[in-house]
Structure 1
Amino acid sequence: MSQFSRHSPEDRAAFLAAVDGARPLRQPDRVSLDGPKPSPRPRQSEIDEAAVLAELLHGSLAIDDWLDLGGADSFLRGGVPRSVLRDLRRGRWSIQGHIDLHGLNRQQAHSQVAQFVAAALSAGKRCLRIVHGRGHGSPGREAILRQLVKVWLGRHREVLAFCHAPPNDGGDGALWVLLKSGVQPRRLP
């Protein structure tokens, strides 16, 4: 039973008279799609990383942390051949990323270093330069960030080695850092 058979002949005639001469609308020759959906985000991962970062930024440093690495001019992870540090010092690795911490306080610097190292690991970068400064703008002209950055990097398992940059690349106001290859990023301890 068609749609028109339910209506009276008068209704049908009135409808046909009303649409007499009408032409169907042109069909567009493209498909109408909804906008792209956002990619899924690993929310729990983001929450966990934020919690770790907050804990690290507000935690106090033990005296051992200051003594472990603070005064060291270089660092080499245990089990890594000394030739790795020698090659890093000689500039055999090309710098693939750079961050400058001038003007930042301890919390800001730690956050920036943590994010920088995590981003470098995610991007597959191996050799980085971190400019921490010489402490000339600090109270008492002490290079607090220089000591802290060394401690933070020494705690990070993915850091194989670091050393002061040569004078033409920042000298003792900058570090060259070598990361492990092919690792998933972890937060800086």
Structure 2
Amino acid sequence: MRRRKGLSPEDADLWARVARTAKPLNPRIPADHPQSSPLASTAPVVPAVPAPALPRFRVGQTAAVPAARLPQPQTPAERLAAADLRMDARTHRKMTQGKLRPEARLDLHGMTLAAAQPRLMQFILSCHSNGLRLVLVITGKGRGDHGPLPTRPGALRHQVPHWLHSPPLSAVVQQVGAAHFRHGGEGAYYVYLRRPA
């Protein structure tokens, strides 16, 4: 049996009575608009928007993408520089200028993440209990070539600030900053510790 298109006269009468009692969801669409009919397409009516004028493009030409649209990845040093200052501004300025000498240093260069994290925790907690304030953590800058497996270059350089801002180290670390070039530059961090209680 073939299905009939449209509503039967009884169904159309029933629909008209129901439509008169219904409150429209969008009051801006008048009741006699084609979208208000049960036979209307379910696709929304989209007003025509003129296409933006684009510059001419020739075959073989590289498309120019505005730099503002591309998110620029931040280095760990840039993220730390943008973080809130939680120490004395004068001491912080001396520290970032390399005028303060670190009292201890830890070289994680070449370690795996699994070996470096417990070593970093032990070092920081030990330095804090001994009353040291400024220590240096060397991570290395990371190599670009990691073989066939895709890995992020400088995994330690990216992970160490996260570990320093996470418990239990966050309780004893007051400020983390990128080291001055004389103390390792991008491959090292200053860690300014809180005074022991």
Give the TM-score of the pair, scaled to structure 1. 0.53
In structure 2, relative to structure 1, the CA distance for the partners of 1:138 and 1:105 (3 Å cut) is: farther
Quote the residue 1:126 is aligned against. 133
Shift of 1:99: 0.7
In structure 2, the residue matched to 1:181 is 195
Aligned partner of residue 72 in structure 1, secondary structure: helix
User: What is aligned with 1:98?
Assistant: 105
Which residue does the alignment assign to 1:109?
Answer: 116
Letter of the structure 2 residue corresponding to residue 164 of structure 1? A
Tell me what 2:159 maps to.
Answer: 148
TM-score, normalisation: structure 2: 0.51
Q: How far apart, CA to CA, are the structure 1 residues paired with 2:85 and 2:78?
A: 18
CA contact (8 A) 2:77 2:178 kept: no
Whether the 8 Å CA contact 2:104–2:136 is kept in 1: the answer is yes
With over 3 angstroms needed to count, the CA separation of the structure-2 counterparts of 1:131 and 1:164, relative to structure 1, is: same
Q: Give the 3 Å change call, closer, same or farther, for CA 101–122 of structure 1 in structure 2.
A: same
The answer as to whether partners of 1:76 and 1:82 remain within 8 angstroms in 2 is no
CA deviation vs aligned residue, 1:123-176 (integer Å, no higher than 9, x gap): 111110100011117725611101110111122122111211122221100111
2:125–2:172 contact (8 Å) kept in structure 1: no
* Structure 2 residue identity aligned to 1:159: V
Aligned pairs for 1:1-189 (under 5 A) are 72-74=79-81, 79-136=86-143, 139=146, 142-155=153-166, 156-183=170-197
Q: Which runs of 4+ in 1 moved over 6 A?
A: none
2-structure distance, mates of 1:70, 1:87: 17
Mind listing any 5+ residue stretches in structure 2 that lack a counterpart? 1-73
Structure with greater helix percent: 1
**Root mean square deviation of aligned Cα:** 2.6
Aligned length: 116
- Cα 1:175–1:75, aligned 2, differ >3 Å: closer, same or farther? farther
Distance 1:145 1:138, change over 3 A: farther
Sequence identity percentage: 25
Q: What amino acid is aligned across from residue 191 of structure 2 in structure 1?
A: V
